Structure 1
Amino acid sequence: MQEFEAGINIVSVPGSNDWGEPYLNEFMNFPDGSNDDQVDSLVQLLHVRAVRYLLPKRETDWAAY
């Protein structure tokens, strides 16, 4: 299993399958590679995860709007 670091996240990708090596190659060639869809998808997932679970929650006074 290969891993790479994405900010504070570590992403594990099994190497013994049909998609693992192409997936990692896309990341290794980013941003100069010809494809970036999988990079974009993972970055969006990690961003949503960070916003929902890692950042402190703040109270909103909706009556003020």
Structure 2
Amino acid sequence: MQREGLRQYFSHVAKAGRGHYIEIHIVTAPDFASDRGIALLDDIREQIAAGLSIPPERRWFTVAFTADPRWA
């Protein structure tokens, strides 16, 4: 979070059967990623996904970015 300049995050996790539903909402500065664009957001998603122990075929994984905490 500090390295990328992210302000805060909220996570929501639910388990249904063998499936896991994981949502992460990240609050950023309004000008976040303006220079590196979507590639930066995808890099952050990839880093988070790599840290999950649940196999990809058993999870629904969403990462959303916003500058407005109301949407997190």
The TM-score normalised by the length of structure 1 is 0.30
Q: Which has the higher strand share?
A: 2
Higher RCO (CA-CA < 8 Å; seq separation 6+): 2
Q: Which has the larger radius of gyration?
A: 1
Q: Which has the higher helix share?
A: 1
